[in-house]
Structure 1
Amino acid sequence: MVVLLISDNQQKITAAKIAILLCTYNGERYLAKQLDSFSVQTYPNWQILASDDGSIDNTLAILKSYQAKWSVKKFSIYSGPAKGFAANFFFLTHKANRLINTDYYTYSDQDDIWQADKLQRAIDWLSTVPKNIPALYSSRTCLIDTNDHCIGFSPLFTKPPGFANALVEAIGGGNTMVFNRAACELVCQASQQIDIISHDLWVYTVISGCGGQIFYDADPSVCYRQHDSNLVGRNNSWPALFVRIRMLFEGRFRNWNDAKIHALQPIEAKLTPENKAILREFTAARNKKFWPRLVGLKRSGIYRQTGLGNLGLTVAAIFNKV
């Protein structure tokens, strides 16, 4: 006879609930594989909130078929705001925060495949953080093609996460993010009437800026699909580099930073004193002439995770495109 002993801590972790926030739009081709990867998670206590942003293919029918299989209680479906993927994720985050009582939240794209232990690994770390402290888990990804074959990995980041990094770079994709209730409430407070192009970068910025804890897992937790319909794809290939150089000189990064700084103003009081100083130095330096701009940006402490990334940041600073 085998007796299985389960500690009180393990029981508490297993009892914790997690909400999967799934956003869809014309995702019929790969959606079923993503949903199937939820069903084989080693962590079982999850429920899905899906927001479809006006699909005209069979996406909604696929969602409803899985809802019928898993029950309405475990799988809720909503109509999104039809303002793009970032707005859809924020819409769903606010809805989950208002409507359900859960401990953790995770974002999901419609075309990836999760590793079976994705949720368990995230909750193992999140459960070590006091509930009143905002906490965010994210990870590296395995890149897969349209036939589910691994074609590489996202960059391996080794520098510590932080606000000075978040101002200029996202280290973990939204499709890997898992966060606690304190983080969700903070993000909801900071996401009222904002126009941010990237929900994952905004979540990283807000949680790191307000003194939350961030964990970057070097082991991939998601198979991140690369295909022609990607709104955001891999960023470590030469074509991706050339696209980013073009976007840089078109002024898009500077425009995104303008929007981010504007969106941070209402929550500046919630930033830690150190991060307030970083933001003010960064904001002021961006509008100075050549040498004061370079000195000010250096003094602000902003950084990217790789040498090539920091070289690009320097070029952007020289041409006033930060």
Structure 2
Amino acid sequence: MSAEPSLSQPIRSQPTQSQPTRVTIALATCNGAAHLQEQLDSYLAQNHEAWDLWISDDGSSDGTLELLRAFQIAESPRREVRIVQGPQRGHAANFLSLLCHPEFPAGPVALSDQDDVWLPGKLRLALSALKDAGPVALWGAQSYHTDVALRVIGRSRQPRRAPCFCNALTQNVISGHSATLSAGALDLVRRAGVPSGIPHHDWWLYQLVSGAGGAVVVDPALLIYYRQHRSNAVGAHQGLAPKLRRARMVLGRTYARWLGANLAALDRVSGLLTPENRALVAELRAAGPHPGPARLLTFRRLGLHRQTRLTTASLYLAAALGRV
């Protein structure tokens, strides 16, 4: 599929007192036709109307592109709707390559999954929070977990501990389907480029922004219907059973590979990190996965932790056993 040209290229002027901040919605799609229209309709229902939409499609073979092109035509000339070809290297690469597209607009950006539904106040609340958070900031909110028919079956919960780089190194607390970046955070992401091998784009955003000394805001507001189905790239993680699975996961090899890939990616862009966090990454890289009390003490001395006592204990056990 070739990149679809925009049917309208509105001028993105700087906001004034009479102009609302213009935000770009970044949508990653891949065979999402079953639920995509409901998400597109939820953009139109936002009470913040100054938005444009960029889509990276990762080779859809269902009706996704037809829905997107119909939406593009319907919304021209009110806003820019741009469709580009994704790299077809997985969910993380699809999102990050879109943010790093050479023509992607400057300014704040709200990430979107293809199968959720946003509540009407999502964009307005995100932009208001980012305005108060500082020039480099990452914002995320809570979501209702629903079944395929959007019947509520649960909800997300705020992390127990404040976001920070020492937590970001071990887990993610910013859900990608709610993440919104300030203009400065988008610039940071673009300077870092598209790292190879990282497991999750939202986890990378949390690491990069916190590592660079930016603000990470986790909002308690419930603003999204997060649809749960078999095709989710990553599903919800609430309840005792998922917590136990996460504790076991920390002792497994996959988690160790994730940590290693993230740490290598951070090392390659260490010039973007604060001096303190740059030194932390260098020390972790130099220590290597050697089992025993020394590895455990290194993790504790550097302040690495997860959000609960159980999963932090699992992390320290994994360190002592040489699993991470």
Q: TM-score, normalised by structure 1?
A: 0.89
Please name the residue that 1:115 is paired with: 119
Counterpart for residue 150 of structure 2: 148
Please tell me whether the aligned partners of residues 19 and 49 of structure 1 are also in contact (alpha carbons under 8 angstroms): yes
Alignment equivalent of 2:20, drawn from 15, 19, 28: 15
- Whole-angstrom CA distance in 1 between matches of 2:130 and 2:218: 12
What is the CA–CA distance in structure 1 between the aligned matches of 2:309 and 2:143, rounded to whole Å? 20
Structure 2: runs of 5+ lacking an equivalent: 1-14
Counterparts in 2 of 1:111-260, with a 5 A limit?
A: 111-130=115-134, 133-238=135-240, 240-241=242-243, 243-244=245-246, 247-260=249-262
Q: Once the 2 structures are TM-superposed, how far is the Cα of residue 84 of structure 1 from its aligned partner?
A: 0.9
State the partner residue of 1:68.
Answer: 73
Contact 1:172 1:200 in 2 (8 A): yes
The residue aligned with 1:92 is 98
Q: Which residue of 2 aligns with 1:4?
A: none
| Amino acid of the structure 1 residue aligned with 2:196 | I
Deviation, 1:100, is 4.5
Residues 192, 31 of structure 1: alpha-carbon distance in 2 compared, 3 angstrom cutoff: closer
> Whole-Å Cα distance in 2 between the matches of residues 115 and 24 of structure 1?
20
Please give the alpha-carbon distance, in whole angstroms, between the structure 1 residues aligned to 2:222 and 2:320. Answer: 35
What SS is found at the alignment partner of 2:257?
A: helix
Give a deviation string over 1:179-214, Cα, whole Å, max 9, x none.
Answer: 112111111221345221100000110010011111
Match of 1:33 among 32, 38, 62: 38
* Superposed CA RMSD: 2.0
Deviates more, 1:162-171 or 1:98-107: 98-107
**What is the percentage of aligned positions where both structures have the same residue?**
34
| Aligned 8 A contact 1:13 1:124 in 2 | no
Structure 2 CA distance, aligned partners of 1:266 and 1:33? 39
C-alpha contact 1:226 1:233 (8 A) present in aligned 2: yes
For the residue of structure 2 that corresponds to 1:127, the secondary structure is helix
SS in 1 for 2:97: helix
CA deviation after TM superposition for structure 1 residue 91, in Å: 1.1
SS of the aligned residue for 1:123 comes to helix
Greater helix percent: which structure? 1
Counterpart of 2:173, as a letter, is: I
1:116 is aligned with what amino acid?
P
Map 1:282-297 → 2, pairs under 5 A: 282-297=284-299
Q: Does 1:53 align with 2:55?
A: no
Structure 2 residue 110 is the aligned partner of structure 1 residue 106:
yes
Structure 1: runs of 5+ lacking an equivalent = 1-9
Distance 1:304 1:283, change over 3 A: same
| 2:138/2:185 contact within 8 Å kept | yes
- For the 8 Å contact 1:194–1:263, the answer to whether it is kept is yes
Letter in 1 for 2:98: L
- Indicate if the aligned counterparts of 2:130 and 2:138 stay in contact, CA closer than 8 A: yes
Q: Counterpart of 1:309? A: 311
TM-score with structure 2 length normalisation? 0.89
Preserved CA contact (<8 Å) 2:107 2:186: no
Per-residue Cα deviation, 1:36-94 (whole angstroms, up to 9, x for no partner) = 11001011100000111111111111111111211275211111111111110011101
1:315 Cα deviation after fit? 3.1
Structure 2 residue corresponding to 1:274, chosen from 262, 273, 276: 276
